[in-house]
Amino acid sequence: MESSNDSRLRSILCPEQGANLREVDKCMWFNLFSGCDPYTVMLTAMRIPRDTCYVASEGLPQLVYSGYQPHAYSWDEFPPLKDILDAVHKALPGSRFNSLLLNRYKGGDDYVGWHADDEKLYGPTPEIASLSFGCEREFLLKKKPDKTSRGKNTSGEPPRKRLKKDAFPDKHSFVLKHGSLLVMRGYTQRDWLHSVPKRVKADSLRINLTFRLVL
């Protein structure tokens, strides 16, 4: 983090603040989400259990996910995000992200359910960089059931019981702390699902930025 472009990220990642967002950063995220039309944010929140905001370079195909087409804000409307994007590019040499989905988890009741970011506009092997600020939360990954073996009952157990027990044998959990950068690449979206479940103990704000490349 050497260049002046990184100073915004460096200040947000100030180590002494630990897992808590400083008031000044809370204010920045508040302003940023307010910069996204609050009505849109509210409508989104009625459909999905967190606030989101979408930023994308001009001229990209429109993103549609979960039957919802978010308005694409421009990077120029949110200069701090441009600085953070530069820092992420620097941290991941060769990456060239052109869009960003912001998630705001107001507390432990906000979550994202099991899904894969496998929209066609990201191509077959998307690289997604996920940067987290504020309250730490658990991030779960589980392997999608193998299509070739699905439906073949070799265990001798009744089918429904077998599915419950074996559907997702491969499951992993990561704690995403303040300042963590998680990268999903290769066939992660094709083969795995991920989620950030509700957590009663997660009692403060978390901001998550997922940088993506729309092809």
In the complex, the residues that contact ligand AKG under the rule CB under 6 A are 101, 103, 112, 117, 130, 139, 176, 194, 196, 208, 210
Residue partners of 194: CB distance under 8 A and separation at least 6: 114, 115, 116, 139, 140, 141, 142, 184
191's contact among ligand AKG, Fe ion, none, with CB below 5 to 8 A by partner kind, is none
State the nearest-atom distance from the C-beta of 209 to Fe ion, in Å: 12
Q: Which two tokens stand for residue 23?
A: 């008031």
State the nearest-atom distance from the C-beta of 50 to Fe ion, in Å: 12
- 86/117 with CB nearer ligand AKG: 117
- 28/53 with CB nearer Fe ion: 53
Amino acid present at 178: H
Among left, alpha and beta (phi > 0; psi -120 to 50; other), residue 56 is beta
Residue nearest to ligand AKG according to CB distances in the complex: 208
Helical ranges in the chain per DSSP H: 7-12, 23-35, 38-47, 79-91, 159-166, 188-191
- 163/182 with CB nearer ligand AKG: 182
Within 109-128, the residues that bind Fe ion by CB under 5 A are 117
196's contact among Fe ion, ligand AKG, none, with CB below 5 to 8 A by partner kind, is ligand AKG
- 78/210 with CB nearer Fe ion: 210
For residue 212, report the phi and psi dihedrals to the nearest 5 degrees.
-135, 160
Size of the site for Fe ion (CB under 5 A): 1
3-class secondary structure, 175: strand
Amino acid present at 30: F
Residue nearest to Fe ion according to CB distances in the complex: 117
The H or E element that residue 7 is part of is helix 7-12
